[in-house]
């Protein structure tokens, strides 16, 4: 009678191959996750800035975007009224980020005018936000920068790209 199944040698070889593949794949997967978290936080901040700009244009008033170190942000009216609340919308830091993701900015808030431009009458304004992740090795990290110009244009760029004409460059 013929027996069905695997021999001990076949099982040991299969487990050894799985361990070898896992040893290579898991660090690469962690790098991908860390870089995806950087991209998620940077895009969230960009979207928040664009939303604040759009609200300023829609309401034809001054709207403030406030950023916290954790990556959380909120949008609200500078002059609170019945039709313009102190908090229009906000985003929690736990959405798409991790404790390893760090956000640093030149300022924590910016005010948009009714024209959608940065309000130059307001005090110092947020213009540059750097997003990184300490979990990812320096040589594999894709840190990103969010830049806001005086006209209200928001751009996510890669500070390591220096090639002229490359749209990813800052």
pLDDT band of 154, cuts 50, 70, 90:
very high
pLDDT value of residue 97: 61
The arithmetic mean of pLDDT across residues 101-111, rounded, is 90
pLDDT, tens digit, 9 for 90 and up, residues 1-30 = 677 777 888 889 888 888 888 788 777 778
- Mean pLDDT in the chain? 86
Contact 88, 75 (CB under 8 A): yes
pLDDT value of residue 96: 59
Cα–chain-centroid distance for residue 149? 18
Domain segments of the chain as ranges: 8-157
Q: In whole angstroms, give the CA distance from residue 48 to residue 51.
A: 5
- CA-nearest of 56, 83, 78, 70 to 129 is 70
Collapse the DSSP code of 13 into the 3-class scheme (helix H, G, I; strand E, B; otherwise coil) and give the result.
helix
Q: CATH number of the domain at 8-157, please? A: 3.55.40.10
pLDDT value of residue 117: 92
User: Alpha-carbon torsion 37, 42, 46, 51, what sign?
Assistant: positive
**pLDDT above 80: residue 104:** yes
Q: In whole angstroms, give the CA distance from residue 92 to residue 137.
A: 26
pLDDT band of 95, cuts 50, 70, 90:
low
- CA-nearest of 36, 49, 103, 113 to 77 is 113
- CA-nearest of 74, 129, 126 to 104 is 129
Collapse the DSSP code of 146 into the 3-class scheme (helix H, G, I; strand E, B; otherwise coil) and give the result.
strand
């Amino acid at each position: 009678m013929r027996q069905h199944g695997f021999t001990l040698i076949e099982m040991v070889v299969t487990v050894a191959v799985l361990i070898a593949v896992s040893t290579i794949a898991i660090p690469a997967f962690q790098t991908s996750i860390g870089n995806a978290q950087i991209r998620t936080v940077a895009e969230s901040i960009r979207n928040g800035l664009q939303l604040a700009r759009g609200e300023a244009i829609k309401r034809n008033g001054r709207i403030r975007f406030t950023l916290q170190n954790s990556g959380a942000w909120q949008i609200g009216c500078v002059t609170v009224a019945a039709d313009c609340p102190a908090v229009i919308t906000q985003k929690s830091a736990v959405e798409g980020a991790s404790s390893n993701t760090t956000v640093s900015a030149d300022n924590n808030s910016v005010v948009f005018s009714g024209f959608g431009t940065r309000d130059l009458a307001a005090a110092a304004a947020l213009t540059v936000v750097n997003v990184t992740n300490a979990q990812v090795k320096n040589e594999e990290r894709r840190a990103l920068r969010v830049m806001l110009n005086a006209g209200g244009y928001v751009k996510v760029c890669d500070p390591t790209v220096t090639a002229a004409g490359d749209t990813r460059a800052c």
